[in-house]
Amino acid sequence: MTDTPDPGSYRDPGSRVVLHNGEVYRMLDERALADWRRLSTTRFFAEGVAAGRIIATEPADAATSLVPGTWAGTLRHERVPVISYPYEWTFSMLRDAALLQLDLLEAALTEDMILKDATPFNIQWRGSRPVFIDIGSFERLEKGEVWVGYRQFLRQFLYPLLLTARVGVPFQPWLRGQPDGLTADQLRRMMGTGDLVRKGGLLHVALPARAERRYRDRERDVRAELKAAGFRKELIVANLRGLRKIVTRLAPDADTAGWDRYASGCDHVAVQRDAKSAFVAAHAATDPAAMVWDVGANDGHFSKLVAANAGYVLALDADEVVLDRLYRSLATAGTGNVLPLVQDVTDPSPGIGWRGAERPPLTGRSAPDLVLCLAVIHHLVIARNVPLRAVVDWLGDLRARVILEFVPPDDPMVLRLTANKRPHEVHRDYDERSLRHYLAGRFVIDAETQLPGGGRRMFALRPTA
């Protein structure tokens, strides 16, 4: 591993994250080092680390100049299994991350420290448990100082949540297209008058939108003015508590359901589930995988099944509604090794941000040892018109073992997908014979079995050397 600064860690001049020998280090300048020393003696920090809400961190005196710059000290952080981004999270994940941000900030204030920014990129996941990773964000609270991160909290936490809860628009595509978050003015234009006067709309959307417009071109040091006028941390706490009440009560808009009734609405799918589970469990257990991708995870049945014998499981699905339900069930159970991520495999997270490298694509953050591709192939080939050979090539390029369920062209679910398509609009090679032909070049079939009650077939595949 080379000593390259993390491409997403460049904004804070006083702190830089570096990967070195597979470990995560953070370089600190004099000021940041003083803040760390203060932080490391606080009670809220010790309690946060013990509860798994703040990333475990220790001084690492040996390596002080991993990257160019004038650094005064180095910290070593515990690694999270997979880095993920807010545009890949479900509604409840972003809400829980927002609550963690508010809780940590309020706790920090009691010991005269503050979080200098407020972005969900500072929060990561260990399965369904959020953990705050940006230790460099904690700094000493100067008397009379305002909460500088308030606007960022609005743009990257509250507004995306309001967009989904009040306007009924999924926030993920918006955050992917505009990772700095929605502006107050953008959200105000989308919200109806009724929404704007509801909880939070007036004070946190309409008022900031108008204030930003009014003071856009004014050269003023408002921080100094407020400080001189007697601003104090109790005012921040009052704001935080108000925000907490609003965020806690937000719920996802339930009208956007897609696949949430998929398994229960198809009798043959339910009947086959036991046989499918047995096949998956047997082949997942023979050679336990460090990293599993469950593509089209739906309700997470198979993610949970393989999690018992896997290091970590990414439950990937394009449907944020079913995935949100999965997240909530995992969070209730306290599952630590299944991470639900909103991901459309025909349009996966690209590299975005500065030079397209600040937030790498999913394949730059995780490499699977085992891929579950169950009842997905017909959606790719029939619904999304990806050629069958291209799907096999994609699986082959992942260089992982694959458990594949083939759904034949006469399956009721396939017929449903082709109901509004003319024969010439469907790839003609969507059949088992062609599948076997394409697989032959990329995989060895370790095992296969026919599922009861239809023509669906399970394959356990190993990539050719």
By CB under 8 A, is residue 241 in contact with another protein?
Answer: yes
Distance CA 162, CA 205 (A): 10
Q: What's the angle, vertex CA 252, arms to CA 251 and CA 257, rounded to 5?
A: 145
Q: Which of 73, 120, 127, 149 binds another protein (CB under 8 A)?
A: 149
Q: What is the DSSP code (8-state) at residue 355?
A: G
User: Distance (Å, rounded) from C-alpha 148 to C-alpha 141?
Assistant: 11
Q: With CB under 8 A, what is the number of residues at the site for another protein?
A: 53
CB of 212 to another protein, least distance (A): 4
Write out the E strands in 101-184.
113-115, 123-126, 129-132, 138-140
Q: How many angstroms separate the CA atoms of 249 and 87, rounded?
A: 21
Helix, strand or coil, per DSSP, at residue 379: helix
12 binds another protein (CB under 8 A): yes
Query: 129 or 166: whose CB is closer to another protein?
Result: 166
**Contact between 31 and another protein (CB under 8 A)?**
no
Asked whether position 221 contacts another protein by CB under 8 A, the answer is yes
365 binds another protein (CB under 8 A): no
Closer residue to another protein, CB minimum distance, 203 or 308: 203
CB 79 within 8 A of CB 97: no
Among 7, 52, 59, 242, binds another protein (CB under 8 A): 242
- Given candidates 216, 355, 422, 433, which one binds another protein under the rule CB under 8 A? 216
DSSP 51-86: TTSB--EEE-TT-S-SSSS--SEEEEEPPPSS---G
38 binds another protein (CB under 8 A): no
Using the rule CB under 8 A, is 208 a contact of another protein? yes
Binding mask 78-117 for another protein (x = CB under 8 A): --------------------------------------xx
Our finding on whether 161 is near another protein (CB under 8 A) is no
> Which range binds another protein by CB under 8 A, 98-106, 197-205, 378-386, 405-413?
197-205
Site for another protein contains 312 (CB under 8 A): no
Task: Tell me the angle at which helices 91-110 and 320-333 cross, rounded to the nearest 10 degrees.
Answer: 50
189 scored as a contact of another protein (CB under 8 A): no
Contact of 75 with 26, CB cutoff 8 Å: yes
- Tell me: does residue 238 bind another protein (CB under 8 A): yes
| Residue-by-residue DSSP string for 202-235 | IIIIIHHHHHHHHTTT----HHHHHHHTT--HHH
Shortest spacing between CB 223 and another protein, in angstroms: 7
CB closer to another protein, 151 vs 268:
151
Report if residue 56 touches another protein, rule: CB under 8 A. no
Element (H, E) at 462: strand 457-463
- With CB under 8 A as the contact rule, which of the stretches 1-9, 80-88, 236-244, 270-278 interacts with another protein? 236-244
Minimum Å gap between C-beta 201 and another protein is 9
**How many other β-carbons are positioned within 10 Å of the β-carbon of residue 244?**
15
Residue bearing tokens 């003023």: 220
Taking the complex as a whole, how short is the minimal distance between the CB of residue 197 and another protein, in angstroms? 10
- Supply the minimum distance, in Å, between the C-beta of residue 24 and another protein: 21
Stretch that binds another protein, among 7-15, 63-71, 295-303, 393-401 (CB under 8 A): 7-15
Under a CB-based contact definition with an 8 Å cutoff, are residues 27 and 21 in contact?
no
Our finding on whether 234 is near another protein (CB under 8 A) is: yes
Stretch that binds another protein, among 232-240, 254-262, 323-331, 383-391 (CB under 8 A): 232-240
Query: Does 199 help bind another protein (rule: CB under 8 A)?
Result: yes
**To the nearest whole angstrom, how small is the minimum distance from the Cβ of residue 210 to another protein?**
5
The end-to-end CA distance of the chain, in Å, is: 25
What is the spatial distance between Cα 316 and Cα 368, in angstroms, rounded to a whole number? 12
Judged by beta carbon, residue 92 or residue 119, the one nearer another protein is: 119
Map 423-454 to HEC letters.
HHHCCCCCCHHHHHHHHHHHEEEEEEEECCCC
Contact status: 255 vs another protein (CB under 8 A): no
**Rounded Cα–Cα distance for residues 22 and 371 (Å):** 24
Residue among 50, 215, 415, 416 that touches another protein (CB under 8 A): 215
List residues bridging with 313 in a β-sheet.
292, 338
Q: Which listed residue (71, 91, 231, 406) binds another protein by CB under 8 A?
A: 231
Rounded to the nearest 10 degrees, what angle do helices 43-50 and 91-110 cross at? 150
- Tell me if 13 contacts another protein by CB under 8 A: yes
Cβ burial 366-383 (10 Å sphere, 16+ → b, else e)? bebbbbbbbbbbbbbbbe
Closest CA to 374 of 284, 296, 313, 258: 296
φ and ψ at 130, to 5 degrees? -75, 145
Q: Which is nearer to another protein, 14 or 353 (CB)?
A: 14
* Token pair in block for residue 391: 């799907």
Please identify, among the stretches 72-80, 97-105, 230-238, 325-333, the one whose residues bind another protein according to the rule CB under 8 A. 230-238
> What is the binding site for another protein (CB under 8 A)?
11-14, 116-117, 146-152, 154, 184, 199-200, 202-204, 206-208, 210-216, 218-226, 228-231, 234-236, 238-239, 241-243, 245-246
